[in-house]
Amino acid sequence: MSVQGTPSRSEELGRRASSSLALRRGWIGIAVGVLLLWLAFRKVPMAELGSALAGGEYAWLVPLAGLELVAFVGRAVRWQALLAVPGILGDAFWAQSVGFIFTNLLPFRLGEAVRIVVLGRRARLPLLRVAASAGAERVLDVVAVLVMLFFVLPAMAVPTAVIQAGGVFALIVLAALLGTALVLVFRRQTDRILTRLEERRPGALIRAALPRWHELVDGLAPLSRPKVVVQSALLSASIWGLYVLAYWCVLRAFRSDASVVEAAFMVIALSLAISLPSSPGFIGVFQFAGQQALVLPFGGKYDPATALAATLAAYLVWYVLTTFLGALGMWQTGETFADISRLLTAWRARSAARGASVEGIDGDHVQGGQDERR
């Protein structure tokens, strides 16, 4: 995979700074994961954990895997709907799958950037537009989580801290929704302002900002269409409903009296925990969050060993399934780790040289890669 042009000295310095930062962040993510994994196992006697695992009814893991697979397909359908580009469902699914394997093997949710890169190249879309649609996905996910919290919290006894945390996330979501609405409402006004700035004070910064702004708005534009909003909302409800059913299955494997409320709260806790960049494959973060989601509010029903056993089973199915899909996606798309790593490194260097955020991948079309190999 090639990046057009010869790197400048600033880009080379940016590449080195970016690599150093990524290395430090990687070690931090691993350290956090190890610490949380230790906390999850710390007060669990191995004999009790072994007994809980031995008593599991693992036939329930089959529907768990099936429901998660259907949810992954639903995510790809929703992504295509948010991009409002027909005929890219396969590309969206496999790009998402390739992202899975990078998330599982590398820290700080690198798969999120990878899936944007892969879909942008395969669908020939500006990366900022694809990134904007991925951001809209995350907003929809958080809205779905908050709606679940609204219905779940009254049915359970939870600490005050959990309610306060829910309020904080609600404010974050409202801010994101307001920001998206402002971008869509004031698109023309901002276009005129940027155009006038370019005419009065021409420069590289304004010339670069204007097309990037257009790509960002193009990525969010489908959200101004009622049909897309309704379709995306229904898909989101279906996706998260599938997740709740999936986790009810894994709880049912260890407790015959498992309830949908318990499964929903576990899904909520895990989704919030893994939403932050952390260790490869969320190792440690997943186990600790899943265990505590069952022990803290349902401690009379789930002891630490049983809760950890259920979480480990859920994690194993999720990790194996997503890694398999990721490997299949790499084969299907013809991507390689080296190609994607070089492209990400080059963009990070250019972003660092411009003083931009690494995660805010620029809006250039992807060049080379699969098309060159053909």
350, 364 Cβ separation under 8 angstroms: no
Task: Tell me if 145 is assigned to some domain.
Answer: no
Task: Tell me if 178 is assigned to some domain.
Answer: no
Task: Tell me if 180 is assigned to some domain.
Answer: no
Q: What is the mean pLDDT of residues 251-279?
A: 91
Task: Tell me if 129 is assigned to some domain.
Answer: no
Distance between CA 100 and CA 134 in Å, rounded? Answer: 14
Q: Which residue has the higher pLDDT, 315 or 191?
A: 315
Q: How many CB atoms lie within 10 A of CB 48?
A: 15
Task: Tell me if 130 is assigned to some domain.
Answer: no
Distance between CA 272 and CA 249 in Å, rounded? Answer: 20
Task: Tell me if 283 is assigned to some domain.
Answer: yes
Distance between CA 263 and CA 344 in Å, rounded? Answer: 37
311, 290 Cβ separation under 8 angstroms: yes
Quote the number of domains for the chain. Answer: 1
Q: pTM for the whole thing? A: 0.78
90, 316 Cβ separation under 8 angstroms: no
Domain around 43: 9-124+237-373
Highest mean pLDDT among 12-16, 140-144, 159-163: 140-144
Q: What is the mean pLDDT of residues 237-263?
A: 96
- Give the pLDDT band (50/70/90) at residue 372: very low
Is residue 288 over pLDDT 50?
yes
Task: Tell me if 187 is assigned to some domain.
Answer: no
Distance of CA 249 to the CA centre of its chain: 23
Distance between CA 341 and CA 349 in Å, rounded? Answer: 12
Distance between CA 206 and CA 212 in Å, rounded? Answer: 10
